[in-house]
Each structure stands twice: as structure tokens, then as C-alpha cells.
Amino acid sequence: ADTLGRRPLLLASLGGMCACSVLISVGLFYGPSSLVTAAVVICCFLANMGVGAIPWFYMTDSTPAYARSAMTMLGCSLYWCLSIIVGLLVPLIECSSSQWLFVIYGCICALGLLFIIMFVPETANRTTADIVKEHSGSMHFVIGHRPRTSSQFFIGDR
């Protein structure tokens, strides 16, 4: 995660999971079970490579030390609450239209991809102080944004 950075891994993970969801749906509609099997295995790998692991790194990178325990608690609680909701909703959606389940999942991955592109900056090789200072204002977009270093905050650039 340190050599590639957190943001590129999140983007690759969500983009790949979105593509795998499309392939799973195509396989469910048209029948090649080997396509479904391969796409599920690749999707699991991509989820564990990025979306499953990186948020834990990202949370500690972007949160000041005094708030890390509270943010970890909130992150874990949100993760498990959403997992329960997904676990409860999947059987309902699957009963009504099993082929469309992974289309819905692919759309959710695409929305996550857009969120990462628009709002999540790279945290690798940056200090927590830099990230907190940069995000201390209102809504923050990272599209076309070049991160500043800590020396730029104290020298008076921008």
C-alpha cells in the first residue's frame, strides 16, 4: 500500500469490482458459469486488496491521534451495520430478480468509485497534520487538486 498509495488501490479495487459485477451479471443472464466463477474469484481478490483493507489504513493516516479511537469505533460500527443491511437485503433482491443483483452491486461500486475520485485524497507519504489542515474547511474536492506539503502551510504559500 505504501509503494502504490492508498487512493490508486481504492480506485483499482472499486473499478475492478464494478467490472466483475458486470461480468457476473452477463454470466448469469447468458449462462457461462466459468465466467461467473472467475469474476467472483477476481472480485473477492480486488475487494480484499483495496476496499476491504485500505479504509483502515486511510482512517489512521487522515485522523489526528486524539480522534483515532473514536473514528475507528465509528468506522467499525458503520462497516458492520452496512454489512448487516446488505446481508438482510440480498435475499430479498435475489428472490425478486437474481440476475439484477450484481447490476445493483456494480452501480454501488461505480458510485463508490466516483466518491473516491471526487473526495478522497492520497495520504501516503503525507503527514496527518497536512491532511487535517487541508480538510479543515468545508466540502473538499480533490479533482485536479495537488496536495500541499507541510512547509507550504508555514511559509505562507497560497
What does the pLDDT read at residue 141? Answer: 60
pTM: 0.74
Q: 62, 68, 78: which is closest to 129 by C-alpha? A: 62
- Tell me the C-alpha distance between 39 and 109, whole Å: 15
- Tell me the C-alpha distance between 18 and 4, whole Å: 21
User: In the predicted model, is pLDDT for residue 146 greater than 60?
Assistant: no
What does the pLDDT read at residue 60? Answer: 78
The residue with greater pLDDT, 84 or 62, is 84
**What is the sign, positive or negative, of the torsion defined by CA atoms of 108, 110, 114, 119?**
positive
108-114: which pairs have CB atoms within 8 A and are 24 or more residues apart? 109/14, 109/15, 109/17, 109/18, 109/21, 110/14, 110/18, 112/14, 112/51, 113/11, 113/14, 113/15, 113/18
User: In the predicted model, is pLDDT for residue 151 greater than 80?
Assistant: no
The H or E element containing residue 93 is helix 68-97
